[in-house]
Structure 1
């Protein structure tokens, strides 16, 4: 019989426990308030070659846009629309920031 280690509590509990000394837990509270959380991922992660116009329109109305973009740039998100910018637009920002 193989016994697996399974810590008690939830993953959230683990992030605020002794692991906080070694792992920085990002503040993702903005995600609950973001309009994309109420819309669905299809707009923000379209098939290659599809339009991102609708995602950008929704992002333009979202109060969490800057927090979303900051998160995407800090975490090197390479897919989807984040903070109103496409993958190519975020790549351009990263290149000019170097």
Structure 2
């Protein structure tokens, strides 16, 4: 008996943007700084990323609580959600 452990096609397609993210090519620690740490480097990388919008949409949809997603911190994403 064989088990298919792959994600369903629609979920796989939904996450394909992650492979194109500039963050996948840089130090992941920059995107998850320690409390009080600088987010400047991560946000600078996000500014030129082709999948910034998809990243931010994903973070908002999945209620990501930590890290820089789509160029915004958790606090900035919370404010954005409140305005929406």
Q: Equivalent residue for 1:8?
A: 2
Taking structure 1 as the reference length, the TM-score comes to 0.77
CA distance in 2, matches of 1:59, 1:8: 40
More helix by share: 2
Q: Equivalent residue for 1:29?
A: 16
Q: Equivalent residue for 1:3?
A: none
Regions of 4+ moved over 3 Å: none
Taking structure 2 as the reference length, the TM-score comes to 0.89
Please say which structure displays the higher CA radius of gyration: 1
Q: Equivalent residue for 1:67?
A: 54
Segments of 5+ residues of structure 2 without an aligned counterpart are none
Where relative contact order (Cα < 8 A, 6+ residues apart) is larger, the structure is 2
Give RMSD over aligned pairs. Answer: 1.8
